[in-house]
Chain A
Amino acid sequence: MILQLATGGLLLGCIYGLVAMGLSLIYGVMGIVNFAHGAFVMLAMYASYWLYSLAGLDPVIGTPLVALLMFGFGIVVYRSIIGKVLRGPFLARLLVTFGLGIFFVNLAQFLWTPDYRMVQESISHGIIMLGPIFIELPKLVASVGSLVVAGLVYWFLRKTKTGLAIQAISIDRTAASLMGIDLERLNAIAFGLGLACAGAAGALLASFYYIFPDVGTMFGLVALVAVALGGFGSTEGALIGAILIGIIETVGGFLVGPEYKYALIFLAYLLIVIVRPKGLMGWGAD
């Protein structure tokens, strides 16, 4: 039973991990805590819903397209809003993404009503048995997909020139810009990449999860907790934090009661940061 639950938690954690990775990337590069991240996941879910119902494109197959769309959208949001706030005071930097989140969630409610929607016949459905463990196929596909995308982003950051430049910025912004790295361009790319992560996760989630305007809020908060749990600025930490959260949510939710599952996540966060104020793997100044 515990094994069954832990597997479910692990699968969930992988999807959280992808959302958290985008959040961590944005934070690492430009110091912005993206409170609108969940709203972007929600927008991606709607994008794949509409691609499915209007063009017949399956959410899983449409994932790269949605990720690409969100990448472009991220560049636009960075150029028009985020980039302009970066030099502003701490509170403006902290709250601008709150405004964005409120705006997009309610835009979705205005355009598409608060009704629950669902992709009816995704290509990934059914259950497979792995020894004694039931695994729902859509969740398996979504979490494997998340890991693949996370792997791609990781590869991009470690092996390409642009990726290395992005890492250089998160280590030392001033030195990076002295070495001739175009901060504005790379900030925009990093923000786009962060949103692409949220986009891919949203598209994969859309294949089995209900879609409604407020759906992303919890994903955003959980990802935020995952990033803080792992330590701001550590991409690996974000992934570890997310998987830990996925397991706490399913196992703890079973042991204590499902209505307490989010409370448990937050409790875990509080306990961990009280012992380690910079998260599990965090470093540097705040």
Chain B
Amino acid sequence: MRDNRQTQIIILIAFTVVGFALPLVAKARFAQHILIMVALYAVLGEAWNIMAGYAGMVSIGQAAFFGLGAYVSSFLFVQYSVNPWIGFLASGLVTAAFGTLIGLPFSRLRGRYFAIGTIALGQMIKVVFENWQRVGAATGLMLPLVDEGVANFQFHTTKLPYYYVAFAMLLAVIAFMRAMERSRMGYYFRAIRENEDVASGLGVNKTAYKLIAIAVSAGITGMCGTFLAQYSLYVEPEYMFNHTISVTIALIPVFGGAGSIAGPILGSAILIPISELTRAWLGSGGTGIDLMIYGAFIVLMCVYEPEGLMGVVQRANRKAIARRERRGSTQCPNL
């Protein structure tokens, strides 16, 4: 047990070091863009994971929170020149509050009714923002350029600081998830996922814990929205509330392995570069071939590795342990 914990900490330290060093090696602007997106979607995947992977509420409408967060900070910045960092926190709070509000009726829904409900939510909020004149309707908002620097959350000459912000967010989320996994709350979430009737029969206040899961997930997702708004310096409904964002956010943890901390990171590290690279190499002119490959990848994954990449890792681990226990064999190609 102690051994296991030490390995985890070593992995975490190694991950942090590699994460900090990567953009210093990959200096090309496009490479750094991919790294930023990988980190951002890893955070988004973890946020989805809290709600779906742990507490069992599968959301295919995360773009609702994402876009709302992007709009909160951008609106405050454009209209009232509120510092984006305050906007960053505000969007976390507003989306968490919105998530709680939505969660009140949604926590009654189960399984696929919940999932379809989140799709409905994502589509509805997009329509609302497309027609809301105060926030620029379909054209959205342009964020004015200000002096670059940490204080203003805008960087023009290099993408590097954006990466470190995203990476810091990822580390914070990992720390949160680790604490959650060990806490009472983490056990309650999993109990609700496995069987909510039994869980509530045993005294878990399932509505309260469902609301917490939705609120936390929504809040983190909203802050990611602010990050993308600061990164691209514009928000528009078609971009921020896109259904593809919702689908991608759900696919990444599933691909990596839902219900584990490493899953979304693995999933993002593989899926995002594939999608960005195919788009850059093949997608110019909107031929759709990039997303075609993406779709095929998802189907193949569901058919051949339905437990996600973490399933592969765990299987390899089990094999390695079994082999170590047998001790005899000298050929360990996987180790």
Contact = CB atoms under 8 A, between A and B. Distances in A.
A34 B290 CA distance: 22
Contacts of B286: 109, 114
A130 to B, nearest CB: 33
Contacts of B119: 221, 224, 266
Nearest to A282: B113
A78 to B, nearest CB: 12
Contacts of B258: 91
A102 B123 CA distance: 17
Q: Which 9 pairs from chain A and chain B are nearest by CB? A: A99-B298, A103-B295, A109-B288, A102-B295, A266-B120, A106-B288, A92-B306, A88-B306, A96-B302
B117 interface: yes
Nearest to B258: A91
A213 B108 contact: no
Q: Of residues B108, B127, B302, which shows the largest number of chain A Cβ atoms within 10 Å of its Cβ?
A: B302
A89 B258 CA distance: 11
B124 A266 contact: yes
Given A85-B306, A109-B287, A266-B123, A94 B298 contact: no
Contact of A260 (B108, B111, B121, B131): B131
Interface of B is mostly: helix
A100 interface: yes
Interface in A80-137: 81, 84-85, 88-89, 91-96, 98-110, 114
B292 A110 contact: yes
Contacts of A92: 254, 302, 306-307
A53 B202 CA distance: 64
B112 A232 contact: yes
Given A88-B306, A260-B131, A99 B120 contact: no
Given A96-B303, A103-B292, A110-B289, A263 B123 contact: yes
A99 B297 contact: yes
Interface string A254-279: 00010110110011011001100111
Contacts of B130: 259
Contacts of A93: 302
Contacts of A95: 250-251, 254, 298, 302
B296 A286 contact: no
A228 B112 contact: yes
B317 to A, nearest CB: 19
A42 interface: no
B77 interface: no
A269 B120 contact: yes
Q: Of residues B119, B247, B289, B292, which shows the largest number of chain A Cβ atoms within 10 Å of its Cβ?
A: B292
B284 to A, nearest CB: 13
